[in-house]
């Protein structure tokens, strides 16, 4: 039976040590902050990233992994496995997918399949985990890719921005809008659909936002797996988990942290992600 290696990028968030346990390779995106450069989740942990965000007035910049690093990862992995399935951050959100496709063409010899997750965070992590599980069961790379494509429409990602400061710093909204948001204590609720970030609602408090995000996720259909995550807001995790558990008592629940690439644009953030039943 062919052996399959699974690759993703550092925008994928995982519950606990699931990535390490499943042997999933992770290619780090780059985080540049003032004159400092870091490999996401390698040189700079998620917790350290959010701690630095509180201290530094500037915003970091994120970029796709160097093509050479992707090629190196593929070449090393193909020395150990027959095929590679590489699943990445939505192509509409980053150049990472295109870089992976180019690297696969140059060094893969037809042995690498690159998948656009159309998503990020734990939704991307779940796809990589499913791919790894199928690979361990002896599935072909074609079967793995087909399963991921079938799984993608069943994923939901919703996140709440706890502050509009990063959007204002990044120039994505005007100063007047940022001021209005802070005065009215808006907590914008967003989603990712078909690889694009879309607004959903504007709850006016953190507690209201927690209730609404749980309600919105529960309204999507039969949820079999739910992820409760925060980025830089550990104090939110317990309350958010309780609200979600009340609305979705039967779903398997994963916990995690939202990584620095999403956090760069969103600032402190919390989210709920779901996998719907087939």
CATH number of 237's domain: 3.30.1180.10
One domain, residues 43 and 179 = no
CATH number at residue 36: 3.40.50.10170
Q: Are residues 83 and 194 in the same domain?
A: no
Do residues 46 and 70 both lie within one domain?
yes
Closest CA to 85 of 157, 133, 13, 123: 133
Q: Which residues contact 84 (CB under 8 A, 6 or more apart)?
A: 4, 5, 6, 7, 74, 77, 78, 104, 108, 111, 112, 113, 141
- Same domain (yes/no): 194, 64: no
- Predicted model pTM: 0.93
User: What CA–CA distance (Å, rounded) separates 88 from 120?
Assistant: 8
142 and 203 belong to one structural domain: no
Residue 3, both tokens: 């052996």
Question: Is the same domain home to 110 and 166?
Answer: no
Q: Which residues pair with 256 in a beta bridge?
A: 229
Domain match, 186 and 223 both? yes
Range of the domain at 268: 154-276
144 shares its domain with 9: yes
Domain co-membership, 8 together with 134: yes
Alpha-carbon distance of 178 to 168, in angstroms, equals: 6
Domain boundary among 151, 179, 213: 151
Q: Which of 151, 171, 206 delimits the end of a domain?
A: 151
Rounded distance between C-alpha atoms, residue 68 and residue 88, angstroms: 17
d(CA 84, CA 90): 19
How many structural domains does the chain have?
2
Enter the tokens of residue 56: 């530094």
**Which of the listed residues 124, 151, 178 is the one where a domain comes to its end?**
151
pLDDT (tens digit, 0 to 9) for every residue of the chain, 278 residues total?
Answer: 459 999 999 999 999 999 999 999 999 999 999 999 999 999 989 999 999 998 998 889 999 999 999 999 999 999 999 999 999 999 999 999 999 999 999 999 999 999 999 999 999 999 999 999 999 999 999 999 999 999 999 999 999 998 777 666 655 444 445 545 554 568 889 999 888 888 898 898 999 999 999 999 999 999 999 999 999 999 999 999 999 999 999 999 999 999 998 888 888 999 999 999 99
109 and 162 fall within a common domain: no
List 6's β-bridge partners, or say none.
Answer: 85
Are both 243 and 261 inside the same structural domain? yes
């Amino acid at each position: 039976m062919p052996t399959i290696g699974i690759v993703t990028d550092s925008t994928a968030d995982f519950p606990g040590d699931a990535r390490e346990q499943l042997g999933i390779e992770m290619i780090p995106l780059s985080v540049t902050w003032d004159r400092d450069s870091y490999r996401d989740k390698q040189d700079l942990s998620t917790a350290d990233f959010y701690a630095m965000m509180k201290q530094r007035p500037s915003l970091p910049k994120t970029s796709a992994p160097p093509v050479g690093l992707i090629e190196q990862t593929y070449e090393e992995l193909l020395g150990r496995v027959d095929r590679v399935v590489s699943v990445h951050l939505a192509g509409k959100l980053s150049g990472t997918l295109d870089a992976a496709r180019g690297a696969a063409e140059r060094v893969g010899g037809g042995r690498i399949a690159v998948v656009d997750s159309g998503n990020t965070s734990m939704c991307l992590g779940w796809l990589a985990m499913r791919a790894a599980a199928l690979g361990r069961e002896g599935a072909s790379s074609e079967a793995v890719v087909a399963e991921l494509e079938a799984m993608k429409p069943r994923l939901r990602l919703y996140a709440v921005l706890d502050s509009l400061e990063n959007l204002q710093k990044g120039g994505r909204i005007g100063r007047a809008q940022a001021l209005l948001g802070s005065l009215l204590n808006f907590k914008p609720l967003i989603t990712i659909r078909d690889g694009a970030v879309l607004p959903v609602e504007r709850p006016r408090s953190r507690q209201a936002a927690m209730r609404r995000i749980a309600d919105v996720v529960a309204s999507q259909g039969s949820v079999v797996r739910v992820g409760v995550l925060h980025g830089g807001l550990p104090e939110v995790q317990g309350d958010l988990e309780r609200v979600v558990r009340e609305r979705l008592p039967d779903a398997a629940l994963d916990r995690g942290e939202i990584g620095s690439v999403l956090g760069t644009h969103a600032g402190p953030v919390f989210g709920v992600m779901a996998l719907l039943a087939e």
